[in-house]
A and B are shown apart, each in its own frame.
Chain A
Amino acid sequence: MGKSIERQRNIIDFTLSSLLRRKGKNISLMIVYTVIVFVLASVMFFTHSIKKEAHLILKDAPEMVVQKMIAGRHELIPEGYMEKIGGIRGVGSVHGRLWGYYYDPTVGANYTLLVPQDRKIESGEIIIGNGISRSRLAYEGDIIGFRSYDGSPMNLAIKEILSYDSELVSSDLVLISRDDFMTLFGMPKGHFTDLALSVRNPRELPTIAQKISDLLPDTRPIIRNEIERTYDSVFDWRGGVMVLILSTALLSFVIFAWEKASGLSADEKREIGILKGLGWETSDVIMIKFWEGVVVSLSSFLVGIILAYIHVFFTHAPLFEHTLKGWAILYPEFRLTPFVDAYQIFTLFFLTVVPYTVATIIPAWRAATVDPDSAMRT
């Protein structure tokens, strides 16, 4: 056992000396290799974590939202629809949601105004998200001026600011009383923006959605599963776009690494010939090439994933946060929770380390089986 370990250590010593003789070329290869692993791992860590976080946060979103459509566009839904939907067997409760958008020219941002169902807000008061507070420099007790649908000014006092740690869902929110909402937007009475409903048995959601579509053909039911899937699509798409942008660099690296790993230079062939001439076995030569592949790829892989982890979870992915996170004037400040699992690491390992290491062995095996005399003469 000890002898075998010592033999491997000797081979590693020899491999490292051999790599250091061509250090310029090998170090540049390792830097590029590390950067590629770093970028792929950053995209993977970021998209996986934000998708997981979105799932956890939105797991209590309304089980179903029903919108009314007119000419293919989302329109206000009349109160009478609530009764009709409430009468469908399996529907638990139906609530009308009142919400809308308000463009604030002062900061050039859109706010989401919402009338809360269970939270009491007095007329003339609002509760705002932390993003609005930050961009408007507005705090508790301050007044924010709005312009209502008929142009008349409407001043609302800030009663409370939603907590910093809820920014991911509340950064641009303005919670407002029902009366103020109706006055601000000139909403017709007896209408809601849409309906949120709960069902008795979640497995019946698709059936109930179908029943609603049959009963009220001008409506569009959106079930929670679709809401959750939206965020998978958004971030899969973004990750894909990021990888696509980098695909030229990736392809260049693959060609460079393949050429470096699979083709042996004249020097390397001569080196193999000399080793064979000195009495080295073919298996020893293959072992050297195997270790060469391991040294380059494993080192780059480990450094790449560690740097990617620091980049995404400690420094908030500054290198490509705009591509992956998107941007907006009221962008929420949030700290991504590191949802990392071994599956991600193994996927990356099999995509980067294994192909390179295998690619180094095949040409070495071919060269090592050639007659030493002819190898030395090349």
Chain B
Amino acid sequence: MGIKPFRKSGIFLCFIAVSLLLVSVMFVYAFFRVRSDAGTIIRQSEIVKELQLTDLCLFTEARYTRNPSQADLHAAFQDHPVSIEHFPAGSLVMPPECLRRINGKVN
């Protein structure tokens, strides 16, 4: 009795099975990483509580990007009335809601 050659469908189904297995591994890995990172997140949360911080330290180039939740209502345009926003993060941080409501053009 000779060995049967691999059928194309067999190879395809194996590929799908391996891929689905990897997707399941993604979830398992995520589960364990969330558990192992919980300590770090709690520590960060404790620092936030202790120091009464309000924002993540992501964009430090201007006061309204360093603390976007504390920025003035018309932040980015506060240096002078026709000052166009000029910091790189500013082009990616959404304008304040009131500004979007009043002036549809900035959307």
Contacts and interface: CB of A to CB of B under 8 A. Distances in A.
A57 B48 contact: yes
B94 A168 contact: no
B26 A340 contact: yes
B92 A238 contact: yes
Interface in B66-104: 66, 68-70, 72-74, 78, 88-89, 92-94
Interface in B1-47: 7-10, 12-13, 15-16, 19-20, 22-23, 26-27, 29-30, 33-34, 37, 40-41, 43-47
Contacts of A207: none
A249 interface: no
Interface residues of B, number: 56
Interface in A274-291: none
A54 B72 CA distance: 21
Contacts of B12: 12, 16, 295
Interface string A108-119: 011010101111
Contacts of B73: 72, 220
Contacts of A222: 54, 69-70
A341 B72 CA distance: 36
Contact of A112 (B37, B66, B69, B72): B66
A108 to B, nearest CB: 9
A16 to B, nearest CB: 4
Q: Which of A101, A165, A167, A338 neighbours the largest number of chain B CB atoms within 10 Å of its CB?
A: A338
A62 interface: yes
Contacts of B58: 168, 325-326, 328, 331-332
Interface string A178-199: 0000000000000000101000
Contacts of A168: 44, 56-58
Interface residues of A, number: 86
A162 B57 CA distance: 13
Nearest to B64: A74
Contacts of B43: 163, 165-166
Contacts of B30: 313, 338-340
Contacts of B10: 9
A343 B47 CA distance: 32
Given A57-B44, A222-B70, A338 B29 contact: yes
B56 to A, nearest CB: 6
Q: Which of A57, A165, A194 neighbours the largest number of chain B CB atoms within 10 Å of its CB?
A: A57
A299 B34 CA distance: 28
A9 B8 CA distance: 9
5 contacts: A58-B48, A116-B50, A233-B94, A237-B92, A306-B19
Would you list the 5 A-B pairs with minimal beta carbon distance, nearest first?
A302-B19, A60-B49, A12-B9, A237-B94, A338-B30
Given A57-B45, A72-B78, 11 more contacts: A54-B56, A73-B78, A95-B52, A110-B60, A110-B63, A131-B57, A194-B70, A220-B73, A302-B19, A330-B60, A337-B34
